[in-house]
Amino acid sequence: MSNLTATAVANANIAFIKYWGNRDAALRLPSNGSISMNLGGLQTRTTVYFDSSLTADTLTLNGQRATGPALERVSAFLDHFRHRAGVQTHARVESENNFPMGAGIASSASAFAALALAAASALDLNLSESQLSRLARLGSGSACRSVPGGFVEWHMGDSEAGSFAETIAPPSHWPLVDVIAVVQEHHKEVGSFQGQQLAHTSPFQQARVESAEERLQICRAAIQQRDFDALARVVELDSNMLHAVMCTSTPPLLYWQPISLQLMKEVIHLREQGLPVCYTLDAGPNVHILCEPSAVSSLRERLVQIPGILTILTAHPGGPARLVKST
C-alpha cells in the first residue's frame, strides 16, 4: 500500500439524555444509554492519508501540529482500523472544526466520528453504520452518536457488540433548533474523558444511572410525539442530574459559570411566559437552548441583551457522518 486517502465530515451532537461514566473505560461501554440530536452545520472535517513513506502518525488540528496526548489518542484509535485492514501503515490526519473545541459542544464526538469514517474509507473497510458507530465509540463515547443522522439513541448494550447508536427519528421528523449561548471558547481545564473517570466517586451517580431508563423512555416518546413540554421537563432534569454528579465527584467538577446559571434561569422565565424553550448543558459552561422554530427570533433578541455571551450559534437536526471529496 502506498497512499490511500479519504475525507469525511461529521456533526457535533447535543445529548438530551446524558452519557457520563463507563462500565468499561477502555471500551467506553456506558453506564447508561443516551439520546441526542445531531447539530447540523456544527461539524468537523477530517482527512486521513495512509502513506507508506511515513515513519509515524501525524496530526494537524485547525492548522496547528498536535503532539502528546492528542496525537497518542488518535494513533491508538487508528490502530483499530489498521488491525481490521491487516496493515501497519502510518497516517497523516488533518482535522478542522467550525466551532469551539473542548468547550462542551461535543467537538470530540464530531472529530472521532469523522475520523472513523475517513479511516474506514481510506482503508477500504466495508463497515455497516452500526459497526462504524461501535468503532467511533472507542475514540470518544459520544462519537458513536455522531455517526447516524437526526435524533439518535446510543444503546448501552449487554456487550461490546451491542453498544452502538442508531437513528430513532430522521432530521426531518422535528425541526427543533439548538440555540447555543457560547460563554467560553477555550478548552475546559478537565476534559470529558478525565471527568468520566470520576463519575463513580459521586454519591448521586448510582441514582442517576438506575433512573436513566425511565428518562430514556420519556425522551424517546417525546421525540416520537413531538411533545416539546415533555421533552423540556426530561431534558432539563437530566442535565441537572448530570451536573449534580459532576459537582459531587471527588475532586468536584464545577463546569457551570455564573452566566450559565443566569441563562438557565432566564430560559425558565421565558418558558413561563409561553416561549417553547428549554436548556441543557454538557460538560462545559455553554448553554444549549432547545426550542421550536417559532421561538428562535424572540430568544435571540433576548440573548443579545445579556452581557457575557461571546457568540450565539444556531443548529438544526443534522444528517449522518458522510464522505466528501477532498480539495
| Crossing angle (nearest 10°) for helices 228-247 and 212-225 | 150
Q: List pLDDT tens digits, range 76-119.
A: 999 999 999 999 999 999 999 987 665 556 588 999 999 999 99
Residue pair 38/55 in contact (Cβ under 8 Å)? The answer is: no
**Cell numbers at 25, concatenated:** 473505560
Is the pLDDT at 188 greater than 70, yes or no? no
Is the pLDDT at 2 greater than 60, yes or no? no
Buried-exposed string 3-13: b where 16+ CB fall within 10 A, e elsewhere:
ebebbbbbbbb
Is the pLDDT at 185 greater than 80, yes or no? no
Pairing of strands 311-317, 34-51: antiparallel
Pairing of strands 34-51, 29-30: unpaired
Q: Give ranges for CATH 3.30.230.10 in the chain.
A: 3-171
Nearest to 276 by CA among 216, 226, 323: 226
Gap between the Cα atoms of 265 and 311, Å rounded: 19
**What is the predicted pLDDT for the residue at 193?**
73
Confidence of residue 25 (pLDDT cuts 50, 70, 90): confident
Residue type for position 290: L
The 10 Å Cβ neighbour count of residue 184 is 19
Q: pTM (2 decimals)?
A: 0.94
**What is the predicted pLDDT for the residue at 101?**
63
Residue pair 178/293 in contact (Cβ under 8 Å)? The answer is: no
- Grid look-up 459537582 returns 247
Gap between the Cα atoms of 38 and 104, Å rounded: 14
What residues have CB less than 8 Å from 322, skipping those under 6 apart? 8, 9, 10, 117
Among 3.20.20.10, 3.30.70.890, 3.40.190.10, 3.40.50.300, name the CATH number for the domain at 177-317: 3.30.70.890
Residue pair 276/294 in contact (Cβ under 8 Å)? The answer is: yes
Residue type for position 293: P
Confidence of residue 327 (pLDDT cuts 50, 70, 90): low
Burial of 24 (0-12, 13-18, 19+ CB in 10 A): exposed
**What is the predicted pLDDT for the residue at 325?**
82
Buried-exposed string 279-293: b where 16+ CB fall within 10 A, e elsewhere:
bbbbbbbbbbbbbbe
Is the pLDDT at 189 greater than 90, yes or no? no
With the C-alpha atoms ordered 70, 323, 96, 55, is the resulting torsion angle positive or negative?
A: positive
**What is the predicted pLDDT for the residue at 194?**
80
Q: List pLDDT tens digits, range 211-263.
A: 999 999 999 999 999 999 999 999 999 999 999 999 999 999 999 999 999 99
Q: List pLDDT tens digits, range 46-72.
A: 999 999 999 999 999 999 999 999 999
Residue pair 61/93 in contact (Cβ under 8 Å)? The answer is: no
SS3 assignment, position 187: coil
C-alpha separations of 193 from 117, 173, 241 in Å: 21, 32, 18
With the C-alpha atoms ordered 61, 63, 66, 72, is the resulting torsion angle positive or negative?
A: positive
Name the percent of the chain lying above pLDDT 90. 87
- Decide yes or no: CATH 3.30.230.10 for domain 3-171: yes
Gap between the Cα atoms of 229 and 233, Å rounded: 6
**Cell numbers at 138, concatenated:** 472507542
3-state helix, strand, coil in the chain (%, to 5): 40, 25, 35
Confidence of residue 155 (pLDDT cuts 50, 70, 90): very high
The 10 Å Cβ neighbour count of residue 273 is 9
Q: Give ranges for CATH 3.30.70.890 in the chain.
A: 177-317
Q: List pLDDT tens digits, range 280-323.
A: 999 889 999 999 999 999 999 999 999 999 999 999 999 999 99
Measured in whole angstroms, the distance separating CA 6 from the mean position of its chain's CA atoms is: 22
**What is the predicted pLDDT for the residue at 251?**
94
